[in-house]
Amino acid sequence: MKEILSFFSLSLTSFTFIRKYFDVKRFDFYSIMFFQCIIFLPVVMILFYIDYILYSKLSDFNIFTDILMVIVFIILTIFFTTYIATYRLSLNHFIIFVDKFSSIYERKSIVSPFNKEFMKVQNEKTLVKVYKGKNRVYQYIYNYQIEEFEYINKESEYYQEFVCQKIKGNWKRIFQCNIKIKRYFLILFVLFLMTTVTAFIFLYTKILLFIVLMMHALIYILSIGHLLKINMSLYRENDKDKLKVMRYLRSFIHR
């Protein structure tokens, strides 16, 4: 009974903390990333399962094959993490903060700075837009979805936040930011299929299976390297887009 009460107490405390500090403005971003993890995780699991089948056919297990499988597992974990990080960059989700002096900043903190000392408000224009049939009012600029939030503090000082996120072309940004990298991924994919099919045809040729496992590990490493190159390109593009959006918002605010 004591354990049950402790569990409910911990759950209530966690819920209270999340409700107080969790930045609900990032909910759309978190939900997209969550579903992307759900989609891509089975892909990585299938890749590992294929390698595990090949590994299991090496009946005379030795220390080298065991170490190789551990390395493959670690590499696939890094591959999964790198892909998710790359997809996150493709969304380019960021929040622009406007203070009472109309100075514009990009907010880096994860938790929301607006708590009990601030009150979320809506001005007349926003209420008119909502009344016309839109529950959430968005602006669209440079293929970015921008949602505005307004706050006042105890001194009735006015603050704004703009939640910005890329609304389309995420896959295109990942795989078409560099034509050469796109071709490399295609070559690696074809090479993986060819080696896998060959391994299953000659399933009892142990030396071939071991070579295929090593080639798969190399393919995963090369894929990680190409994703890191894409990350660098996305970082540069994202900074340019942030600057364009901030300049647009500056002109929008001072109208």
Domain ranges of the chain: 31-92+169-253
User: By the 8 A CB rule, do 150 and 126 touch?
Assistant: yes
Do residues 250 and 110 lie in contact, with contact meaning Cβ atoms separated by under 8 Å?
A: no
pLDDT at 41: 93
Least Cα distance to 153 among 120, 108, 109, 124 occurs for 120
Rounded-to-integer distance, Cα 97 and Cα 149, Å: 10
3-state helix, strand, coil in the chain (%, to 5): 65, 15, 20
User: DSSP assignment of 10-33, as one string?
Assistant: HHHHHHHHHHHH--GGGHHHHHHH
d(CA 61, CA 77): 23
Q: Given this model, what pLDDT does residue 128 score?
A: 54
pTM above 0.95, yes or no: no
pLDDT given for residue 54 in this prediction: 87
Quickly list DSSP for 86-107: HHHHHHT-EEEEE-TT--EEEE
Q: Which residues contact 16 (CB under 8 A, 6 or more apart)?
A: none
Q: Kindly write down the DSSP assignment for every residue of 193-250, as one continuous string.
A: HHHHHHHHHTTT-HHHHHHHHHHHHHHHHHHHHHHHHHHHHHHHHHHHHHHHHHHHHH
What's the CA gap between 44 and 83, in Å, rounded? 11
Q: What is the pLDDT of residue 83?
A: 93
The rounded distance, in Å, linking the Cα atoms of 198 and 114 is: 59
Both tokens assigned to 96: 């622009």
Residue 232's nearest CA partner among 181, 162, 171 is: 181
In terms of residues, how long is the chain? 255
pLDDT, position 194: 93
Q: How far apart are CA 131 and CA 173, in angstroms?
A: 36
Label residues 197-216 b or e (16+ Cβ within 10 Å = b).
Answer: ebbeeeeeeeebbbebbebb
pLDDT per residue as tens, the chain (255 positions)? 555 556 566 666 665 555 555 566 677 788 888 899 999 999 999 999 999 988 888 766 677 788 888 899 999 999 999 999 999 998 888 888 888 777 888 887 766 655 556 666 566 566 555 555 555 556 677 788 888 888 887 777 788 888 888 877 677 777 766 677 888 888 999 999 999 998 888 877 788 888 899 999 999 999 999 999 889 888 888 888 888 888 888 876 655
- Over the Cα atoms of the chain, what is R_g? 25
